[in-house]
Amino acid sequence: MSLQKNIEKICSRKRACAASNADNNIPDDVLWNIFIRLPAKQVAQMRCVSKPWNALLSQQSFIKSHLDHRSIRRMNDDEILLVFKDGYFDFCHPFLTHPSRSSIIELPKLPNSTPSCGSSIFIGSVNGLICFADYHVIHIWNPYLSALTPLPSYTNTTIGDEMLFRFGFDPLNDDYKVVKISLSLDEHGNIVEGSLEVEVYSLRKGFWELVIGFPSHVSMICNNDEVCVDGHAYWLCLVEDMFMPETIVAFDLAHETFREISLPNSMKDYKESNRLNVLGVLSQKLCVISCIHNGDCEVWLRMDHKWVKHLVFPPFDGKIMPIGFTPNNLFLFGIGRHLALYDPDAAAVKLFNGIMNTPNSFTKVVPYVDSLIWPPTLRAINH
């Protein structure tokens, strides 16, 4: 019997047992401690047993506690990573960072309404919600709840050559937001003056709004990394200067304001030192990974509004493409035709065979956790 059939059989028995005891006076705290340990899909099934259970399992406090519990379990066990080849959503390959103690993981398939032929572009993943764009329509999807919604069309008053997106969580307002930057480029790849426009969609408000304040002296946005953490979205940019130094533009998702963050001094002359700088997330904080060709990799962590040199990796055997860190603080990078994980504590490298051909700067690798998050605008779909 297949793994899926075994799971369905177990769930069926649980529902039958639960239905016969649903009216018993089982304390809510006991039910809470039981259900919080179940995967999101099974919890959603338990909601159908009775109205009291549905009320308990639909509480926002339970949903948040369930997400926290699943995240902690992920930190102590296997991590699910989603790999998007060249950023395309339809070329998603899930894998685990450690050998699974359980059976082979089976992630849900794409919804039937999702287009094929590699047309969907991955934007971001937060708390079990996946955001992707398809033919200028942005979707928010929770695979485990079979919940999918298209967002309303953005205003797009500026017709630009490029559109850049971020998807993040605003903890102050308990809101999820999509940030869209549209811009035009000149023949040298620089931003045409006055062409940059920013719009923000709030899932709580349900509409797009124009936002001003993006630094006007930014000449180029490096859109190769997807960084949203601590209530901010981040972009690594080049500014107008004869040496084209790099800067970080931060967007506060709660207050919808921009500010700049300077890089550590050792990284600023990246052309002369042959450095490749990439933004990332480490221990739920913004970090910069700075790799020198055939040299060390430095990792700087942003703490208390200051940069702290956190790690220095020895040279790897070959030129690497830094990608970022997993929630378990393993360093992800591309080397040759492989993806690899480096464990700083064990000083060991693990290669993943058969994941993809030649990881590049557009390869997206993001952690994923199953959750019960169901924003008000999401609707259920049938497969």
d(CA 39, CA 368): 13
- Whether residue 217 lies inside any domain: the answer is no
Contacts (Cβ under 8 Å, ≥6 apart) of 330: 97, 341, 342, 343, 344
pTM of the model: 0.81
- Whether residue 260 lies inside any domain: the answer is no
Of 139-143, 231-235, 259-263, 302-306, the one with minimum mean pLDDT is 139-143
- Whether residue 16 lies inside any domain: the answer is yes
Strand pairing category for 147-150 and 162-170: unpaired
Range of the domain at 20: 3-58
Contacts (Cβ under 8 Å, ≥6 apart) of 48: 15, 54
Q: Are 200 and 214 in contact (CB under 8 A)?
A: no
d(CA 340, CA 324): 11
Q: Are 182 and 162 in contact (CB under 8 A)?
A: yes
Check whether 91 has a pLDDT greater than 70. no
pLDDT, residue 79, reads 72
Q: Are 314 and 298 in contact (CB under 8 A)?
A: no
pLDDT, residue 86, reads 66
Taking only the tens place, the pLDDT of each residue in 195-224 is 999 999 999 898 999 999 999 999 999 866
- Whether residue 150 lies inside any domain: the answer is no
Check whether 9 has a pLDDT greater than 70. no
Q: Are 349 and 341 in contact (CB under 8 A)?
A: yes
- Whether residue 183 lies inside any domain: the answer is no
Q: Which long-range contacts (CB under 8 A, 24 or more apart) does 243-250 make?
A: 243/269, 243/271, 244/219, 244/220, 244/271, 245/269, 246/222, 246/270, 246/277, 247/215, 247/218, 248/279, 248/286, 248/288, 249/214, 249/215, 249/218, 249/221
Q: Is 71 left (phi over 0), alpha (psi -120 to 50) or beta?
A: alpha
- Whether residue 319 lies inside any domain: the answer is yes
* 355: confidence class by pLDDT, cuts 50, 70, 90: low
Check whether 50 has a pLDDT greater than 90. no
Q: Are 22 and 49 in contact (CB under 8 A)?
A: yes
- Whether residue 88 lies inside any domain: the answer is no
- Whether residue 336 lies inside any domain: the answer is yes
Check whether 40 has a pLDDT greater than 60. yes
* 294: confidence class by pLDDT, cuts 50, 70, 90: low
Strand pairing category for 80-84 and 364-368: antiparallel
Number of domains in the chain: 2
Strand pairing category for 147-150 and 379-380: antiparallel
